[in-house]
Chain A
Amino acid sequence: MGHGDGRAHFYVMDYFAQQFINGISLGAIYGLIAIGYTMVYGIIGMINFAHGEIYMIGAFIALMVVVAFGIGEGGLVIVALLSALLVSMALTSLYGWVLERVAYRPLRGSQRLAALISAIGMSIALQNYVQLTQGARVKTLPPIIQGGFEFQFGDTDFIVRLSTLQIMIVLVTIALMAVFALLIARTALGRAQRACQQDQSMAALLGVNVDRTISLTFVMGAALASVAGLMVTLYYGVIDFFVGFIAGIKAFTAAVLGGIGSIPGAMLGGLLIGFTEAMWSGYFSIEYKDVATFSILVIVLIFLPTGILGTPEVEKV
């Protein structure tokens, strides 16, 4: 994403503004994925390493729906995107639900390591499932949302581009976050999730169906990841069966940075990771952007294991 054409001129303000915009768009996407990690950790104390694959499946489903519509003009694009969003959310949620039911619920109550290994196994299985059914080649989607705004600060010939798609990504993310925050804070389901996070067996003794609450947590995380999948497909225009791996680990880094278990933390972590990546690509080296992100993971785990907004109590069953 680094726009190398500006580098030679070194127009500090403009260049920074461009990376800032790129960073926010990317960060919003990481944040959406990171919420899935942090919610699942919050409620059952386990890292769902197959979450990146759920996101990848969401991207594939979205791509298929968009392609099925054919890439038209005007009104049809909106219909295609809305259908892609809804179908992808619904089907990806189903994947999330089945994943929990098949790979994690039977292991609940056993050692933590068992569920973790199961998660890694599911991650590999889902990658190969998509590779077998969809092929190993990258899938491309020509840009269907074009246009945007261009700015120039001062007398430079560097143009800062803010695309319609970037605006859309940020707006959709903000809207989803608002709905999500409302759900957690105000509805019976959100309250049950918070109760299960604190004391599962007590929640059960007050009549809360803990298994179902956990299932719905996976469903919600998967739905958010599928939205991220759709947006990435539109943003980069290429996906393959392996995109979930790197994006998943980066979103996991975001969740850890923000404080695992904390939902605002996941969003904040996502933004910070997005920024880091955009700035690193812009000012240092685009080839080493992943190194920068994972260095953050290492540093945070060593020096700030509870993350920025996390609570100190890490021990959970």
Chain B
Amino acid sequence: MTPSALLQVEHLTMRFGGLVAVDDVSFSVAQGAIHALIGPNGAGKTTVFNCLTGFYKPSVGRITLNSPESQATFLLEQMDDFRIVREARVVRTFQNIRTFPKMSVLENLMVAQHNHLMRASGWTFLGLIGAPSFRHAEAASVERAEYWIDRTGLAEYADSEAGALPYGEQRRLEIARAMCCDPVLLCLDEPAAGLNPSETEQLSELIGYIRDHHHISVLLIEHDMSMVMGVSDHIVVLDYGQKIAEGTPEEVRNDPAVVQAYLGSDDETDNAADATT
């Protein structure tokens, strides 16, 4: 693959007993680009995400992240989940919403800056006495949080409990929170699920903004084909755990194997199938 690839997934295989959820999948994600991972339900997309973020340890395969800033190389499949975020700076969101429902929106975003603040608080003691260095760090964190609150249109909810937010806002909160982790790769698992068309439109804009203004790569799982086709630079198609196609939106749209996979599948993917054809 290209030498400048940010993320390289090689021969990734994940078995659960006799079930092979992901079968020898290889792909790469370029620096500063939006890549989409699509496929019918049960194709293994979320399993790939779980391997990337340390939720699962893959049965076979190598996942390499070349950090653009530190020039360091991380083997994600060997790292604990919190290290993947803290050191390799790969961050994900979930298909089902996973905010901290009893914390305010602002505090949700502060948790994402935990490591930075923990260091600044000198293992909590400086934080307790309110040392200037800690206050300064905290003010900077609040500023960063407020930047993303504004970008995601959550300003009016900043002090509300996250659990009380409307659905679409909770989805955007998850993205804002992931961005507060200062990622180099942002993995979004079905961010448009349950959103109405205008919310989906806003989401596409947000994802584009993240790439264009922050030069962060995005890896996207999504069933909303119009969104995927509109926003992605590159698409990887999975079916039954195997990669069946990849390329630009145009190439993938016209790939016979992809059309076959979607049209030949059960009724749960009707929406997606309609969108591709």
Contacts and interface: CB of A to CB of B under 8 A. Distances in A.
Interface string A285-311: 000000000000000000000000000
Interface residues of B, number: 31
Contact of A201 (B81, B111, B127): B81
B115 A207 contact: yes
Given A182-B128, A191-B110, A199-B98, A206 B91 contact: yes
A206 B127 contact: no
B242 interface: no
Interface in A199-223: 199, 201-210
B223 interface: no
Interface residues of A, number: 23
A272 interface: no
B4 to A, nearest CB: 26
Given A188-B114, A198-B100, A205 B81 contact: yes
B121 A189 contact: yes
Contact of A187 (B80, B81, B128): B128
Interface of chain A: mostly helix, strand, loop or mixed: helix
Given A183-B128, A187-B128, A206-B91, A198 B103 contact: yes
Contacts of A208: 82, 111, 114-115
A67 to B, nearest CB: 30
B86 interface: yes
A179 B128 contact: yes
B181 A207 contact: yes
A193 to B, nearest CB: 10
Interface string B57-87: 0000000000000000000000011100110
B215 interface: no
A207 B121 contact: no
B117 A204 contact: no
Contact of A188 (B91, B101, B117): B117
B103 A192 contact: no
B82 A210 contact: yes
A137 interface: no
Contacts of B120: 188
B124 interface: yes
Given A182-B128, A194-B103, A195-B111, A206 B181 contact: yes
A309 to B, nearest CB: 14
Interface string A71-91: 000000000000000000000
Contacts of B55: 201
Given A206-B112, A207-B112, A188 B121 contact: yes
A208 B82 CA distance: 6
A195 B111 CA distance: 7
Contact of A207 (B82, B124, B128): B82
Interface in A152-191: 179, 182-183, 186-189, 191
B9 to A, nearest CB: 19
A207 B101 CA distance: 18
In order of increasing CB-CB distance, the 4 nearest A-B pairs are A188-B117, A207-B85, A187-B127, A207-B86
Interface of A: 179, 182-183, 186-189, 191-192, 194-195, 198-199, 201-210
Given A206-B91, A206-B177, 10 more contacts: A188-B114, A188-B117, A189-B124, A191-B117, A195-B111, A198-B103, A204-B80, A205-B81, A206-B112, A209-B82
